[in-house]
Amino acid sequence: MDSLVLKAHAKVNLGLWVGRKRPDGFHDIVTIVAPVAFHDTVSIRTAPRNIVLGPAGAGPQVARGNLAVPWDSGNLAYRAAAAFFRAARIQAGCSIRITKRIPVGGGLGGGSADAAAVLAGLNQLYGQPLSPRRLSRIAASIGSDVPALLKGRPCIARGRGEKIRAVRLPRLELLLCLPPYAVATAWAYRAVDRLRTGGQGLTRPTISPKILRAALRRNELDGLAAQLSNSFEPAVFRRFPALGRARKLLLRHGALAASLSGSGSTVYGLVRTKGWKDPMAALARRGFHCVKTSTVPTAE
């Protein structure tokens, strides 16, 4: 086998607590990272030398405002391939083609998902030279979301995202609201730090898979809202008030809970399969493209 095609699943953050900035420049976080069916497609082919990366057709969300996919060594998928060959001590290369659907700067982990797919794919193509633990360490060196997305199932992530533990969750139905603009992650972290300097207190993390499962089972809306709270929302909604309005619109139309994913710009609603008013038309009038999806089933 010299080629394969993989799905690079996006993620939503089911709650996201951001702590203080650490001496290494990162922030401590606590979050549940849940892969969803919405995905990019990553095609990988072995080559005798060099890493060649490019788009396999321009998707509708390849460029958004001043953010665009870098098709060079700045791309996380490229960095993943380079890191794999170094770690495996393999003198070879590959061709990577990505069909982008996951929006840039949307808080859905698109670049990290592509990197995770490249790590898993190259390890398969070259005969599994690296253990899962070694792959996870490489993933952590590439980006904070990559280890959890490499795992391919819901995980609770701590530290800067590299400390992960798989958790069991039921399948969740989601509506993703994708605005036509991005939110830069670096800006969002700076904005959170500025708010805290201005007197907004640092809350303690309350995110718990056990409590989330119980709230879902009992249909406790207050409990769901608490579990899905996101530390970025005050800063991001202040700068991008339309995102706050999208969240309110989801709740008004019967979403069980709604939240920002990552640092945005995607706002998602946790929805019922039946019996709720579909807000897609109302959101479209406000400039949001919506995608219905669900979390990837937990493997037993």
The total number of structural domains that make up the chain:
2
79 close to 133: Cβ distance less than 8 angstroms? no
**Which stretches of the chain drop beneath a pLDDT of 50?**
59-62, 299-300
pLDDT for position 113: 98
Other Cβ atoms within 10 Å of 196 Cβ, number: 16
Handedness of CA 267, 272, 273, 276 (dihedral sign): negative
CA atoms within 13 A on the CB side of 261: 31
Return the beta strands (E) in the chain as ranges. 3-21, 27-47, 51-55, 63-64, 67-68, 93-99, 155-158, 163-166, 173-178, 257-260, 267-271, 289-294
* Residue labelled with tokens 């003198």: 91
Range of the domain at 55: 3-166
Alpha carbon of residue 239 to chain centroid: 21
Q: Could you tell me if 14 and 134 lie in one domain?
A: yes
Q: Taking Cα atoms as reference points, which of 143, 120, 172 lies closest to residue 15?
A: 172
Domain boundary among 166, 183, 216: 166
pLDDT for position 247: 96
The active-site residue, picked from 24, 145, 248, 278, is 145
Query: Has residue 299 been placed in a domain?
Result: no
Q: Could you tell me if 146 and 205 lie in one domain?
A: no
Q: Could you tell me if 209 and 235 lie in one domain?
A: yes
Is residue 299 classed as helix, strand or coil in its secondary structure?
Answer: coil
Q: Which residues lie closer than 8 Å to 60 by C-beta, 6 or more apart?
A: 101, 289
Q: Determine whether 145 is an active site residue.
A: yes
Domain CATH number, residue 256:
3.30.70.890
The active-site residue, picked from 11, 40, 114, 151, is 11
84, two tokens: 């794999």
pLDDT for position 29: 94
Q: Determine whether 274 is an active site residue.
A: no
Is residue 230 classed as helix, strand or coil in its secondary structure?
Answer: strand
Task: Round the CA-based radius of gyration of the chain to a whole number and report it.
Answer: 19
3-state helix, strand, coil split of the chain in percent (to 5) is 35, 30, 35
Q: Could you tell me if 60 and 16 lie in one domain?
A: yes
Find the angle CA(287)-CA(107)-CA(284) to the nearest 5 degrees: 15
Amino acid at position 94, single letter: C
pLDDT for position 300: 37
Cα separation of 116 and 13, whole Å? 17
pTM of the model: 0.93
pLDDT for position 69: 87
Domain boundary among 113, 134, 166: 166
| H-only helix segments in 70-109 | 76-88
Other Cβ atoms within 10 Å of 259 Cβ, number: 25
263 close to 281: Cβ distance less than 8 angstroms? no
